[in-house]
Amino acid sequence: MKAISILGASSNSGKSWFATALCAWLRRKGVRVAPFKAQNMSNNSFVTWDGGEIGRAQAVQAEAAGLLPTTEMNPILLKPSGSLGSQLVVLGKAQGHVKAADYYEKIEELWPVVTSCLERWKQRCDVLVIEGAGSPVELNLMDRDMANLRPITYLDGRWLLVADIERGGVFAQIVGTSELMPRQLSSKGLGVVVNKFHGDLSLFSEAGALLRERVSLPYLGVLPFRADLQPESEDSLCREAEEQITSGEKMAWIRFPHLSNSQDIQPWLRDQGLSVCWASQANHLDDARIIVLPGTKDTIADLRWMRETGLAEAIIQASRSGVPVVGICGGLQMLGESLSDPEGQAGEAAHVAGLGLLPVKTVFRRDKEVRQVNAHWNNDEWLAYEIHMGRTEGAPAAVRAPLLHVKEDGEWKAEGWRSGKVWGSYLHGLFESASLREDLAQLGGLTAFRAAPGNWREHLQSVYHGMADLLDAHLDLKPLWHYVAD
């Protein structure tokens, strides 16, 4: 097995994007390729077929590689959880919360989990594409960094550096990272790629010559930024997650401080006749025809934030005036009558009133619900999943008004709640159904709305193919291919 690590000259340089594109490119060449990230820090997560939890970036990369996501693609996941530190997920299972200092003391205990996964991948693929984290040469962290240089050293792999020109100072990023790379790994570099270029590529034509004067790392080329080739972002705090579409009537998504699974917005970004925006102030909801409360990693804290900002009252008033309000996961919990966390399992121990828009109550317990299901709406059936602390209960099943139905273990079950124009669901991926989006748009009176044609999963496959095409068109990947084919 060959191993190629995608390292970044900075955070948010496009490592996840490039690893996804490389998986698609290698797959197209007939290579058995798989993605891997030893340790991920993200609240955007995915449920694997066996009920484990991994970062969504590796799930996307698996899809580009033509594989089902597994927990061995991301053995360590840290989910920032406000005052609790981060929830530690090991091989897909939550192991409680840890503070940063305590986590670093666990590095040597967790490293064998990583190496056991690496050993298993040796038997199952030709190339392992390993995504790094942040910068690989943070001098104060290198001795306890599991995601960047340690896997390369363990596998005697190679690395490729991705630099973000959008941030400015791209030459300093590349030269500085190259100079700080440990000597024993300097010769393992396959090349450097400049990413996210906007404008006329000819203006960067001298880059290769300038870099050759200063670093021995081969220059592979520059990639233009393509807004239509962004499957999703790993980090809910980055600019891509804040994308807004302004071509019609407004749909507002609440921008929680502890926002999670922000990718639930993405199917709407292809549709026509609506304006999709993120709201962090009450006046951002002015003229909104639909309001969505997405997931959050600290539900009670973010509910308090909504009350402090006036968003909570604005949502209640909008609902009373007939605006559809949808809550997903933590957003569903907030729409209920009360939220109780007596032991502080999901944040600060507390009992608070919800927004009172759904007849349900949520109690947080130690256990965590993690599962995949097949969702059904009208004639659409698609894969969705749940990841949440807390159990939500309402009226007895006999009189419950479910939002939709899901199939689990061969049985159809009610999922979510509906009360008038208020919808609540635990399903991430809820909006992948074009039929569901059309019905919600009609409920909100979006007269010019048109759902994008085609299946969402098929659309993503076309995006992966386009990403591979972009690599072919703009990069010299011969050094990488010589390593793979040797």
Give the model confidence (pLDDT) of 427-479 as tens digits.
999 999 999 999 999 999 999 999 998 889 999 999 999 999 999 999 999 99
- The pair of structure tokens assigned to 244 is 């807004």
User: How does residue 100 score in pLDDT terms, banded at 50, 70 and 90?
Assistant: confident
Q: In the predicted model, what is the mean pLDDT of the chain?
A: 92
Are residues 467 and 381 part of one domain? no
What's the DSSP call for residue 160? Answer: E
Q: Catalytic pick from 428, 459, 465, 474?
A: 428
Q: What are phi and psi of 246, to 5 degrees?
A: -125, 80
- The pair of structure tokens assigned to 60 is 């996307």
Are residues 266 and 151 part of one domain? no
- CATH label of the domain that carries residue 156: 3.40.50.300
pLDDT surpassing 60 at residue 241: no
Are residues 223 and 255 part of one domain? no
Which amino acid is present at 83? Answer: S
> Average pLDDT for residues 51-55, to the nearest whole number?
93
Are residues 209 and 265 part of one domain? no
Are residues 299 and 216 part of one domain? no
Are residues 262 and 320 part of one domain? yes
Are residues 260 and 318 part of one domain? yes
Which amino acid is present at 314? Answer: A
Residues 6+ apart with CB under 8 A from 272: 247, 248, 448, 449, 450, 452
> Average pLDDT for residues 188-195, to the nearest whole number?
96
> Average pLDDT for residues 3-19, to the nearest whole number?
95
Give me the pLDDT at residue 465, please.
97
**Across 37-41, 60-64, 242-246, least confident range:** 242-246
Give me the pLDDT at residue 237, please.
43
Are residues 317 and 262 part of one domain? yes
> Average pLDDT for residues 168-175, to the nearest whole number?
93
- Percentage, residues of the chain above pLDDT 70: 96
**Nearest one of 388, 380, 389, 392 to 431, comparing CA atoms:** 380
**Structural element, H or E, at residue 441:** helix 434-443
Q: In this structure, is residue 184 part of a structural domain?
A: yes
Give me the pLDDT at residue 235, please.
47
Q: Are 6 and 190 contacting, i.e. CB atoms less than 8 angstroms apart?
A: no
Domain of residue 316, residue span: 249-447
> Average pLDDT for residues 368-373, to the nearest whole number?
90
**Nearest one of 457, 326, 328, 306 to 387, comparing CA atoms:** 328
pLDDT surpassing 80 at residue 147: yes
User: Whole-angstrom distance between the N-terminal and C-terminal Cα of the chain?
Assistant: 11
Q: In this structure, is residue 243 part of a structural domain?
A: no
Number of C-beta neighbours around residue 198 at 10 A:
9
Are residues 391 and 332 part of one domain? yes
For 242-270, write each residue's pLDDT tens digit.
Answer: 445 557 899 999 999 999 999 999 999 99
User: Rg for the chain (alpha carbons), in Å?
Assistant: 23
Residue with tokens 């605006």: 323
Are residues 253 and 165 part of one domain? no
Q: In this structure, is residue 242 part of a structural domain?
A: no
Give me the pLDDT at residue 344, please.
79
Give me the pLDDT at residue 217, please.
94
Give whole-number Cα distances, 362 to 29, 298, 330, 400, in Å: 49, 14, 10, 16
Cα separation of 58 and 10, whole Å? 19
- The pair of structure tokens assigned to 277 is 């925006």
pLDDT surpassing 80 at residue 15: yes
Give me the pLDDT at residue 245, please.
56
**Across 126-130, 336-340, 389-393, least confident range:** 389-393
Are residues 316 and 224 part of one domain? no
Catalytic residue list contains 23: no
- CATH label of the domain that carries residue 328: 3.40.50.880
Give me the pLDDT at residue 233, please.
56
Q: In this structure, is residue 240 part of a structural domain?
A: no
Residue spans of beta strands (DSSP E) within 321-403 = 325-328, 338-341, 350-353, 361-377, 380-393
> Average pLDDT for residues 187-201, to the nearest whole number?
94
Ranked by mean pLDDT, the top range of 29-33, 139-143, 182-186 is 29-33
Give me the pLDDT at residue 101, please.
84
Catalytic residue list contains 329: yes
pLDDT surpassing 90 at residue 409: no
Are residues 278 and 164 part of one domain? no
Give me the pLDDT at residue 222, please.
95
pLDDT surpassing 80 at residue 82: no
Q: Catalytic pick from 23, 97, 329, 376?
A: 329
Q: Are 222 and 191 contacting, i.e. CB atoms less than 8 angstroms apart?
A: no
Give me the pLDDT at residue 84, please.
74
pLDDT surpassing 50 at residue 240: no
* Number of domains into which the chain is organized: 2
Q: In this structure, is residue 294 part of a structural domain?
A: yes
User: How does residue 328 score in pLDDT terms, banded at 50, 70 and 90?
Assistant: very high
Q: In this structure, is residue 16 part of a structural domain?
A: yes
Q: In this structure, is residue 454 part of a structural domain?
A: no
> Average pLDDT for residues 153-170, to the nearest whole number?
94
- The pair of structure tokens assigned to 337 is 């009558």
Q: In this structure, is residue 453 part of a structural domain?
A: no
Q: What are phi and psi of 174, to 5 degrees?
A: -70, -50
